[in-house]
Amino acid sequence: MTVSRPQPLLSVADLHTWIATDSGPVRAVDGVTLEVAAGEAVGLVGESGSGKSMLAKTVMGLLPDRAGTSGSVLLDGVDVLTASEKVRQSMLGPKVAMVFQDAGRALNPVVRIGRQITEGMVRHLGISGSEARERAVALLTEVGVPDPRRRLSNYPFQLSGGMRQRIMIAIALACEPDLLIADEPTTALDVTVQRQILDLLDRVRTTRGMGLVLISHDLGLVAGRTDRVAVMYAGRMVEEGPTDAVFDSPQHRYTEALLASTPSLDAPRARRMRVIEGALPDPRRPPEGCRFAPRCGAADAACGVPGADVLRDGVLGHRHACVHPVPLSGVGVPAGALAPADETRS
C-alpha cells in the first residue's frame, strides 16, 4: 500500500451556501475551504452573520428549503451535498453530531429526555430500546448528570440550563460520532457553567479521540482548546492556522481587530478594548475584493480588486486573505498607523 496523506474526516471545498430572498440571494457562505482531520479540534470564529453557523448547518443538512449550495462537503469521503437523504441520515449521529447553541430550545419540550437520547441509538445502532436506555444512563453519567436513571423520565423544563446542555452533549455522543460540531455551545449559559461545559467537551473529545469543530464568536474561548482556528468574515474565510500562531501573531487585519476587541485585563488601559467600526457588508451585495476593506484602516485600492481576498500562505503555518498583512513585529501597532494612502504607493 502506498502511504498517502490521511484522508481528512471533514473536507469542505469551495463551499457556497446561499439563501434565496425576494431581494436576491443572501450569500451566507461564499467559497470556503476547510479540513478537519480525525481527532483534531478546529475553532471556527467570526461575528454573528459571518456564515459560521450556516457552514455547520450545511454540513448537517439543516438548511431551509430556500437554500442552495455548490462546492463539496466530504464527510469520511462521502459528499453530503449530493448524497441521498437516506445516506445522509445514516451519517448523522454515527459520523457527525451537533451540539446546539441553546439546549433549552434544541430539546423537544414535550418529549422525555430518555426518548431524545435513545431514539438515535435505536435507529442507527440497531439496538433495543432497553439496551439504549442502559447506554443512555452510562452517557449521562459520563457527561456529569447526577441521578441519570431518573433524568430519563424528566422533561427538559424540569432541568437547569447547564444540565440541559450536558444532556444535549450526551445526545450528540450517543452514536459515538467521529466528528462533533459545537455551535456556540455555551452562549446561552451562565458564565460559571460555561467553563464546565467547555471542559466537558474537551474531556469527551480526548477520551474518545473525536474530531471537534468549536464554533464561537469569541476568539478567547477557542484559544486554549483547539489545534487550529479558522476565522470567517462575511461568508469568507480570512485566516486559518495553528491556534497559538493565529493568536500570537494574527496576520489578517480583521483577526487583529477581532483580537483587539476582546476585553483583556492584561492590556494597557488605553487599548484595553477596541471596537471595530462599521457593520458587516450587505450579504446580497458584498463589496468586490476584500470584504473587510470598508472597515479596515489599512485598506487601499489594491484591496478592492476582485480576488484580493484569496487565501495565501503566510508565516508560521498561517494562511490569510490579506493584501496588507500585519507585520510580524507589528502585533501591537494600531491598524490606523499603517494606513497607506493611494499616492504613497507607486
Partner 1 sequence: MLLFAAKRIVRALLVILFATFLVVALLSLAPGSLAVTLLGDAATPESIADLEAQLGIDKPLWSQYFGWLGDAVQGDFGTSLRTRQDVLDAVWERIPVTLELAFLALAIALLVSVPMALAAANRPGSLIDRVSTFLASVGLALPAFVVAPVLVYFLAVKAGVFPVSGWERVSEGAGENLRHALLPAIAVAIPEIAAFQRLLRTDLDSTLHEDFIHAARARGMSRKYVLWRHALRPSSFSLVTLAGISFGRLIGGTVIVEAVFSLPGLGSLIAGSISARDVITVQGAVAFIVITYVVINTLVDIGYGFLDPRVRRESVR
Report the interface residues with partner 1, using CB under 8 A: 57, 60-62, 65, 85, 89-94, 97-98, 100, 102, 105-111, 116, 119-120, 123-124, 155, 157-158, 168, 171, 174-175
Smallest separation, CB 345 to partner 1 (Å): 48
Smallest separation, CB 73 to partner 1 (Å): 15
Smallest separation, CB 137 to partner 1 (Å): 18
Residues 6 or more apart in contact with residue 167 via CB below 8 angstroms? 103, 107, 113, 116, 117, 140, 143, 145, 151, 156, 159
Smallest separation, CB 124 to partner 1 (Å): 6
| Smaller CB separation from partner 1, 123 or 208 | 123
| Smaller CB separation from partner 1, 119 or 244 | 119
Quote the longest CA-to-CA distance of the chain.
Answer: 75
Stretch (H or E) spanning 113: helix 113-124
| Smaller CB separation from partner 1, 85 or 313 | 85
Residue 36 near residue 74, CB atoms below 8 Å: no
Exposure string of 329-344, with b = 16+ CB inside 10 Å and e = fewer, is eeeeeebeeeeeeeee
Smallest separation, CB 103 to partner 1 (Å): 9
Ordered DSSP codes for 215-246: EES-HHHHHTT-SEEEEEETTEEEEEEEHHHH
Question: For residue 152, which of 127, 181, 115 has the smallest C-alpha distance?
Answer: 115
Q: Report the alpha-carbon distance of residue 90 to residue 126 in Å, rounded.
A: 12
Smallest separation, CB 187 to partner 1 (Å): 13
| Smaller CB separation from partner 1, 137 or 180 | 180
Smallest separation, CB 115 to partner 1 (Å): 8
| Smaller CB separation from partner 1, 164 or 319 | 164
* Contacts of range 81-88, beta carbons closer than 8 Å, 24 or more positions apart: 88/61
Stretch (H or E) spanning 154: none
| Smaller CB separation from partner 1, 92 or 201 | 92
* Contacts of range 115-122, beta carbons closer than 8 Å, 24 or more positions apart: 116/167, 116/171, 117/152, 117/167, 117/170, 117/171, 117/174, 118/174, 120/93, 120/171, 120/174, 120/175, 121/174, 121/175
Helix axes 129-142, 113-124, angle to 10 degrees: 120
Smallest separation, CB 196 to partner 1 (Å): 21
| Smaller CB separation from partner 1, 102 or 227 | 102
| Smaller CB separation from partner 1, 67 or 258 | 67
Cell of 330: 507589528
